[in-house]
């Protein structure tokens, strides 16, 4: 009998350190025991399972790569990737929660914040007691954040923010928002706190995707923010783009988990679904589909692991992240749709996970830079010509 793991045909796991294996196993257990039993219902009802936040914090999944002196786990980039992969094997919404908290809110406070801001927020955020969100996208167009309209102007020792942000993950859950605004000195980041007068978060409903995740609009009407809440150590678009590089790196891993969940489900189903007197798994058409999925998953696993090793060596470039985000999300979205087809009619309900993953991945392929944006980043690298 073969000793190959069908969901890791190239034994990528053998290239992980003992610590990385332990991280993967711990998060896998969390997903199996705590996420999978409830997530179909959460998706149906359109709620994010907030009960899981303290458990995720306990496991060190929030800000996992930041230093231990701020209450974080100090893990490497590959471990962060594995966390994303195992969480997204459960649901993209759970992974999104962790991505935003870790890469889009804790990371900018760590990378661009003052020591006081780090001390004030990071330990509480690692503990899951303070939830964060990240406001970059605006209603008039997310792909071109350089043209943001939200602005902040100085007023004495304070800043006054006006504008709106759209499609903000964790918006209504969050105690703080890292908000990017145009100023006279270029784009800057501000920590806006829930309850500051003039700041309102409004949940977005009627979503057919990422239903087990909170998505909101943020509105700023003369919101007065003290200078102490401005992130002092970055100016310009490279501030938010630097956060996106961190989050997008994690997103290259996450969809591998979703794709594995779909392939596993469809493989098991195909072995028990008897049609024309044999399991559909015994037909060439179904085997070709399953084999092709395993091929694409294997490519994605190798791509993300090498990207993670480059990251941990301090050599990862944004173009490499763009290529992997594009490749791996496209891979997972296609696989989820194909698995939905193999399940036949049963595939259209959330009793199975394929349609939930497929619908979720419609968001994942759009957020953190649409597929087209990442293709154009790679195209620009090849040609030296900016085609945006």
Tell me the catalytic residues. 368
145 near ligand TGC, judged by CB under 6 A: yes
Interacting residues with ligand TGC between 207 and 236 (CB under 6 A): 236
Options 137, 216, 252, 328; binder of ligand TGC; rule CB under 6 A: 137
Options 10, 287, 370, 380; binder of ligand FAD; rule CB under 6 A: 370
Per-residue b or e along 48-64, where b marks 16 or more CB atoms closer than 10 Å to that residue's CB: bbeebbeebbebbbbbb
363 near ligand FAD, judged by CB under 6 A: yes
Distance, CA of 30 to CA of 21 (rounded, Å): 14
Strand pairing report for 186-193 and 199-203: unpaired
Least distance (Å) from ligand TGC to the CB of residue 175?
A: 17
Interacting residues with ligand TGC between 17 and 76 (CB under 6 A): none
136 near ligand FAD, judged by CB under 6 A: yes
Contact partners, residue 50, CB within 8 Å, separation at least 6: 173
Options 133, 244, 305, 339; binder of ligand TGC; rule CB under 6 A: 244
Per-residue b or e along 173-186, where b marks 16 or more CB atoms closer than 10 Å to that residue's CB: bbbbbbbbbbbeee
The SS3 of residue 271 is: helix
Q: Which residue lies nearer to ligand TGC by CB, 248 or 337?
A: 248
Reduced to 3 DSSP states, what percent helix, strand and coil does the chain have, rounded to the nearest 5?
55, 15, 30
Decide: 207 and 215 in contact? Cβ < 8 Å. Answer: yes
Place of tokens 């696993």: 301
Beta strands in 323-375 (DSSP E): none
Interacting residues with ligand FAD between 89 and 118 (CB under 6 A): 100
Could you tell me how many residues make up the chain? 388
Interacting residues with ligand FAD between 183 and 242 (CB under 6 A): 210, 215
Options 60, 142, 163, 347; binder of ligand FAD; rule CB under 6 A: 142
Q: Which residue lies nearer to ligand FAD by CB, 238 or 388?
A: 388
- Which does residue 168 touch among ligand TGC, ligand FAD, none (CB within 5 to 8 A, set by kind)? ligand FAD
Options 49, 108, 132, 135; binder of ligand FAD; rule CB under 6 A: 135
Partners of residue 158 on adjacent β-strands:
155, 226
Q: How many other CB atoms are found less than 10 A from the CB of residue 353? A: 27
For residue 16, what is the DSSP state? Answer: S
- Which does residue 215 touch among ligand TGC, ligand FAD, none (CB within 5 to 8 A, set by kind)? ligand FAD
66 near ligand FAD, judged by CB under 6 A: no
The two structure tokens encoding residue 100: 């935003």
149 near ligand FAD, judged by CB under 6 A: no
- Which does residue 279 touch among ligand TGC, ligand FAD, none (CB within 5 to 8 A, set by kind)? none
**Apex 50 CA angle, 264 and 54, nearest 5:** 95
Positions in the binding site for ligand FAD (CB under 6 A):
100, 133-137, 141-143, 167-169, 210, 215, 363, 366-368, 370, 372-373, 388
Positions in the binding site for ligand TGC (CB under 6 A):
96, 99-100, 134, 136-137, 142-146, 169, 236-238, 241-242, 244-245, 247, 318, 367-369, 373, 377, 388
């Amino acid at each position: 009998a073969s000793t190959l793991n069908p969901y890791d045909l190239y034994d990528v796991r053998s290239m992980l350190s003992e610590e990385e294996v332990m991280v993967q196993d711990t998060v896998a257990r969390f997903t199996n025991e705590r996420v999978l039993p409830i997530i179909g219902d959460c998706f149906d009802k359109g709620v994010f399972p907030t009960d899981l936040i303290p458990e995720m914090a306990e496991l060190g999944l929030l800000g996992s790569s930041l230093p231990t002196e701020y209450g974080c786990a100090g893990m490497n980039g590959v471990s962060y990737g594995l966390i994303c992969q195992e969480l997204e094997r459960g649901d993209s919404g759970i992974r999104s929660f962790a991505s935003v908290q870790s890469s889009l809110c804790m990371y900018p406070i760590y990378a661009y914040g003052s020591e006081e801001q780090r001390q004030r927020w990071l330990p509480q955020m690692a503990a899951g007691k303070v939830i964060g969100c990240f406001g970059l996208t605006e209603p008039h167009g997310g792909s071109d954040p350089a043209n943001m309209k939200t602005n902040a102007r100085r007023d004495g020792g304070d800043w006054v923010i006006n504008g709106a942000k759209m499609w903000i993950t964790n918006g209504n859950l969050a105690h703080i928002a890292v908000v990017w605004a145009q100023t006279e000195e270029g784009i800057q980041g501000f920590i806006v706190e829930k309850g500051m007068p003039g700041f309102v978060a409004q949940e977005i409903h009627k979503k057919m995707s990422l239903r087990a995740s909170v998505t909101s609009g943020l509105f700023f009407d003369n919101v007065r923010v003290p200078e102490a809440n401005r992130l002092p150590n970055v100016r310009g678009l490279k501030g938010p783009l630097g956060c996106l590089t961190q989050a997008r790196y994690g997103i290259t891993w996450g969809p591998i988990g979703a794709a594995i969940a779909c392939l596993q489900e469809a493989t098991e189903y195909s072995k028990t679904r008897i049609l024309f007197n044999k399991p559909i798994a015994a037909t060439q058409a179904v085997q070709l589909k399953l084999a092709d999925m395993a091929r694409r998953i294997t490519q994605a696993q190798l791509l993300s692991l090498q990207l993670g090793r480059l990251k941990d060596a301090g050599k990862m470039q944004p173009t490499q992240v763009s290529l992997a985000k594009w490749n791996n999300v496209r891979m997972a979205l296609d696989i989820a749709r194909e698995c939905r087809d193999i399940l036949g009619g049963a595939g259209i309900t959330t009793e199975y996970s394929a349609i939930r993953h497929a619908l979720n991945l419609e968001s994942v392929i759009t957020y953190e830079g649409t597929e087209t944006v990442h293709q154009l980043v790679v195209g620009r690298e090849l040609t030296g010509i900016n085609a945006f």
